[in-house]
Structure 1
Amino acid sequence: MLNNNSSEKRNNAAIEEAAQWFVRMSNQPASVVLQQSFQQWLDDCPLNSQAYQQTERLWQDLHAPAREAARSGWHRRKKQSSFTFMPAFKWASLAASLVMLTTAGALWRDAGLLQRGFADYAAAPGSHSEFTLSDGSRVYLDGDSAINAKFNADERNIELIRGRAWFDVTRNENRPFMVTGGRAQVQVLGTAFAVELEPDVTKVTVERGLVAVHASDFVDSINLQAGQSASVSQNQIAYIDGNDTEISLAWKRGLIMMNQTPLKTVLEELSKYSSGRIILHDKSLENLPVSGVFQTKNPDAVFDALRSTLKLTVVRVPGLMTIIYR
């Protein structure tokens, strides 16, 4: 058993190193020193050559990530620089190009960067934020989440721009508290609840009290009490049957809880806690069921579980991307 574990670790290490070498060698022209180092790595172990060939086949279907990885420069060591005279307009043009390239790479790795950057309150992937608003209401923002707040004498308005947020609202009957997220509008006086933006729906879960959920596209609305959840989509607003508040709000306690959850949903969840883009290479794996309980501060444990339990290959390029395939 120990020998099998050791062999698997060596194989995983070879695959991750192969991904890094592929990125380095894609950044042409490769220097003589780099080519020699690459050949030395190939010759060090038969696993390295096999892993590199496997990586080449895989990344033929991932041209955009490969190009972006090569351009990002994450793999380069700092080099000695030399000053060469260049007219001011050329320096400006070069600087602008570098800014555009750097920005494009950053946005590719982190799609929510701009939304969070222009929001009133935000939490980056892999973190969370807890704070108190001017009216005394408390807010918990999960990873890769952002809100705007607009308060006046008559009302308190929150816009959920990205991700999900939990609110513990200070009661004030003269100033309704309204949260807008996607197509959903949630109105409360004093209660604790969460609003979550998903690709096609907005979910609302009530922990304490009572809220009214409206939909911007139609007149229908529903009331939710403690322990209930609802979803708002383009076509309908509906209660979520069999909802378990403990599971729905596990993220607020720093947990990822999965019970036969489709792999696609699991990876969307992981993107809130892991840096870089997560790519599922084989779309036929999207509905593969995953179960387990993990800590949000340790997303690597989920990737390890995908390797050991589901026998998936997980290739990580630190800070840039994670590729999953079988």
Structure 2
Amino acid sequence: MPRSDTVPPQADPAAAQAIAWAVRLRSGEAGEAERAAFRAWRQADPRHEAAAARLEQSLGLFDSLPGEAAARSGLRRALLAPANRRRMLRDTLGLLLLGAGSGALVHRQMPVNDLFADLHTGTGERRRYTLADGSQLWLNARSAADLAFDASQRRLQLRSGELIVEVARDPARPFVVETAEGSVRALGTRFLVRQEAGSTLVAVLHSRVALEPQAAAGSVLAEGASARFDRRAVYPESQAPRGIAAWEDGFIEVHDRPLADVIAALRPYRSGVLRVAPEAAGLRVTGTFPLDDSERTLAALAEALPIAVRRRTDYWVWIEAR
């Protein structure tokens, strides 16, 4: 297992894991092996037991789990529905726990699917790993990745979020980061990869990388450059790599970027909903803002821009033009 140094999240991840188990065990697909694994997880740590007990007390989710042949058909249909329906169920579980005063995390604290990744972080958490080959890996908040290292290759699948990797030299085993749109192959030591909706952002901090979209010819990206690619093409990106990678030190650093980009960078550091109205999203922002004090960042933006920060609760915040 890789070693890690962690910036602690703002809440206990055991609650999110308990939600993940609830969804999994009530899906109608769980067999005895998974139920045994849940029992082992629950007994492994007092925090796991406490999180599961809160779910039982508030929602009765574990104390009457359906048998293998008798799962509730309505819940099974919800879980087998499209992904957005499954996300709704998981979000609902989290919100119900919050309403019951359990202090549990909602789905946005740590996406439930990502709990089963080899490496993952929750809301407000940055983590550094030392991989088996000696490479150093940094995961931004709400990020997840899987490892596939063997005698001939070093492959890392970025499920979600963002990473920086400093690659240990090993000419016999290429180091490749795979995303939904293609892959990034190390030709040097240090680079950043971000999984976005429909595209991958890459920034080279040292040496070079090869960008390999799934359905297009590859290209080489040099130190000090950044680019975005989808399945069919590579597009130059104007952002400086050092600014893109500022989250490693706990900051958002932007120069003449839309407010929407700043808010997108801030979301993994806040529980709940953070939205920006279309008429405010395009406002241009230049500056450096702290990630670990999102309230301070929102206050600074409200002071510098013609925007208003509105709140329904601390977990439901939206930004609109003044």
TM-score (structure 2 length as normaliser)? 0.65
Cα shift at 1:165: 0.2
Q: Closer, same or farther in 2 for the Cα pair 1:316/1:273, shift >3 Å?
A: farther
Counterpart contact for 1:115–1:146, Cα < 8 Å: no
Cα shift at 1:238: 3.0
Correspondences of 1:175-190 after superposition (within 5 Å): 175-188=173-186, 190=188
One-letter amino acid matched to 1:301: R
- Following the alignment from structure 2 to structure 1, what is the Cα–Cα distance between the partners of residues 259 and 65? 50
1:103-125 CA distance string (max 9 Å, x none): 33238751851232121101112
One-letter amino acid matched to 1:104: D
1:272-314 CA distance string (max 9 Å, x none): 111112123x322221222321111111112112332324133
Counterpart in 1 of 2:230?
Answer: 233
Counterpart in 2 of 1:4?
Answer: none
Counterpart in 2 of 1:126?
Answer: 124
1:325 is the counterpart of 2:320: yes
Correspondences of 1:206-225 after superposition (within 5 Å): 206-218=204-216, 220-225=217-222
Counterpart contact for 1:172–1:189, Cα < 8 Å: no
Identity of aligned residues (%): 26
Cα shift at 1:102: 7.4
Counterpart contact for 1:146–1:161, Cα < 8 Å: yes
Partner-residue secondary structure (3-state), 2:141? coil
Cα shift at 1:204: 1.0
1:33-92 CA distance string (max 9 Å, x none): xxxxxxxxxxxxxxxxxxxxxxxxxxxxxxxxxxxxxxxxxxxxx9xx9xxxxxx799x9
Structure 2 residue ranges without an equivalent (≥5): 1-53, 58-63, 77-85, 96-105
Corresponding residue to 1:154 among 152, 173, 191: 152
Counterpart contact for 1:227–1:243, Cα < 8 Å: no
Q: RMSD across aligned C-alpha pairs, in angstroms?
A: 2.9
Counterpart in 1 of 2:271?
Answer: 275
Counterpart in 2 of 1:262?
Answer: 258
The number of residue pairs the alignment matches comes to 233
Counterpart in 1 of 2:291?
Answer: 296
Cα shift at 1:222: 1.0
Counterpart contact for 2:255–2:287, Cα < 8 Å: yes
- Following the alignment from structure 1 to structure 2, what is the Cα–Cα distance between the partners of residues 89 and 231? 45
Counterpart contact for 2:182–2:231, Cα < 8 Å: no
- Following the alignment from structure 2 to structure 1, what is the Cα–Cα distance between the partners of residues 135 and 65? 51
1:129-168 CA distance string (max 9 Å, x none): 1011111111000011110001111001100010110001
Correspondences of 1:2-151 after superposition (within 5 Å): 103-105=90-92, 106=94, 109-110=107-108, 113-151=111-149
- Following the alignment from structure 1 to structure 2, what is the Cα–Cα distance between the partners of residues 195 and 213? 11
Q: Closer, same or farther in 2 for the Cα pair 1:261/1:317, shift >3 Å?
A: same
Cα shift at 1:316: 5.6
- Following the alignment from structure 2 to structure 1, what is the Cα–Cα distance between the partners of residues 227 and 164? 15
Q: Closer, same or farther in 2 for the Cα pair 1:89/1:306, shift >3 Å?
A: closer
- Following the alignment from structure 1 to structure 2, what is the Cα–Cα distance between the partners of residues 303 and 258? 15
Counterpart contact for 1:179–1:187, Cα < 8 Å: yes
One-letter amino acid matched to 1:121: L
Counterpart in 2 of 1:307?
Answer: 302
More off after superposition, 264-273 vs 135-144: 264-273
- Following the alignment from structure 1 to structure 2, what is the Cα–Cα distance between the partners of residues 125 and 316? 20
- Following the alignment from structure 2 to structure 1, what is the Cα–Cα distance between the partners of residues 128 and 286? 28
1:252 is the counterpart of 2:248: yes
- Following the alignment from structure 1 to structure 2, what is the Cα–Cα distance between the partners of residues 110 and 117? 12
Q: Closer, same or farther in 2 for the Cα pair 1:267/1:178, shift >3 Å?
A: same
Counterpart in 1 of 2:38?
Answer: none
